[in-house]
Amino acid sequence: MDEISSSPSTARAEAPSRSVAGATLSWLRDLSLSVLIAIVIILFLYQPVKVEGTSMMPSLIDHDRIFINKFVYRFGLADIGRGDTVVFWYPNDTSKSYIKRVIGVPGDTVEVDDGTVIINGRPLDEPYVKDDFRDHVSTRRQTLKSDEYFVLGDDRKYSNDSRNWGVVPRQDIYGKAVFVYWPLDRLGVLR
């Protein structure tokens, strides 16, 4: 059996030999690596964004700051699913980003009848839309193509969404909203 031992006097003698400059360089190296990792995560995985507007109330409110996952959809790690809160380029002006909830996915038949969303002939259960935020708008029935998504805001009374301007093409969806980080009293995972 191999053993390594040091006498107490040897261990004490080595501790003071480490210089302040060496400790500072080690700390700066670790800090630089941490900053680099944070930059890579923010640029390629998660992006902080600020919510502007009230169309996603009460799930998201004006000026909430959230993280979106830009990686999960881009590389096919997950499918865009009904109920996901997504960030996308507004189809009528791709210089603007919108955030809405996915209601209809490719292949679905979607309609809104007096405020009730009907997917494939059945009313959609939407616990995220509170009664105070419902409206009585109706839309025609449509079947979504293989790269189309029907999106709505949670505050149906004040949302500019697929009922107004149509579907969102798959290539325009660039992130999934995942986490509210500010204000602190709203800190948490998005549902």
- Model pLDDT for residues 72-104, shown as the tens digit of each residue: 887 777 899 999 999 999 999 999 999 999 999
| Shared domain check, 35 and 118 | no
Is the pLDDT score of 127 beyond 70? yes
List the structure tokens of 96.
């603007």
- Does residue 180 have a pLDDT over 80? yes
66 and 120 in a single domain? The answer is yes
Residue 3 placed within a domain: no
In this structure, the answer to whether residues 30 and 54 fall within a common structural domain is: no
**Residue 55 and residue 149 in one domain:** yes
42-46, 150-154, 174-178: which range is least confident on average? 42-46
* pTM across the whole model: 0.78
Do 55 and 27 fall within a single domain?
no
Same domain, 111 and 134: yes
Q: Which residues are designated catalytic? A: 55, 100
